[in-house]
Structure 1
Amino acid sequence: MHDEIPILQRRKIEARVIKPIYEEMVAELGEEAARSILSRAIKRDAISHGKNCAASQDGANDIAGFVKLFELWTAEDALEVDVLEQTNSRFNFNVTRCRYAEMYRDMGISELGSVLSCGRDGHFCAGFNPRLKLDRSQTIMRGAGCCDFRYSLVEEGNS
């Protein structure tokens, strides 16, 4: 399930298609309803993508398996990352540069970047491994200096 197109390029293609559709939905339904519909669709897609990625790794859906996939998101220098901790139960890092945020800004849709990219992250975990949790308090997409990703693999029954 490792697609040939790097994720940064895939998100750009998706955004080009989604932007005019989203604008029409806003005109017809209002911004709140349009954003809600888009968020639900992205959530479903992210969960499905997580499941497909886990299946493509023969069920290796632990932290090590997740870290192996991580290079897909960083391909083409899409993210500059400072890894803080990597163990069997945790993967913590800060993103100090995000070309996804830069791309959405350049396309004039900064406000959708959080839905189209950042909004996928936690939902991807639900599909990849329901025990994999993401805690993040800030993103570059929303104006912070860095994104603080804190992934943990919780014990069964402790979610």
Structure 2
Amino acid sequence: MFTQPILRLFAFLAIPIAALAASGAAVSKRFSTVPFAPATPEQGAFDKCSTEGHHKGDLAHSAPMLDCLEIGDWAKNNNGMWILDATTDGDNDWHLLHAQGACALVVKNTQATSIGNKDVVDFIEAVHMGDGIELGPVEELGTFYGCQGGADVSFWLRSSDS
């Protein structure tokens, strides 16, 4: 008697959950994921790059700033570093550092290096506070300078869906 309404409710709830799962799967298929090495409880935040510079993109691949802030929150709460292998200079040779909701932080580099969680926190805070408090759609391109071994790493804060 109650079986049919319960099945309809289950189907209604399953559709949004499936959409969320598909979004995460899409970004991981598009970009290979960079491994994250968590710190031990005794270690603090990892700051592997000396500075970063960034500029707004053309918003063709914009993401909601609130989702991008979640990347910063995740990095703030997870001390450690991403270990990057050397990649080619190919235009599509981007690798996923982390994604939250509809926002992804992807990188590319030409020599092996690492990026610390504090580098990501500082970058996200700089974007958020750059032109006042940015809460609308965002797309940022730039470079982490002077990372481990003197390497520079290009990054792109963008939509995980496009």
Q: What TM bracket, shorter-length normalisation? A: under 0.3
Which has the higher Rg, Structure 1 or Structure 2?
Answer: 2
The normalised TM-score by structure 1 is 0.25
Q: Which has the higher contact order (CA 8 A, sep 6+)?
A: 2
The structure richer in strand per residue is 2
Which structure features the higher share of helix residues?
Answer: 1
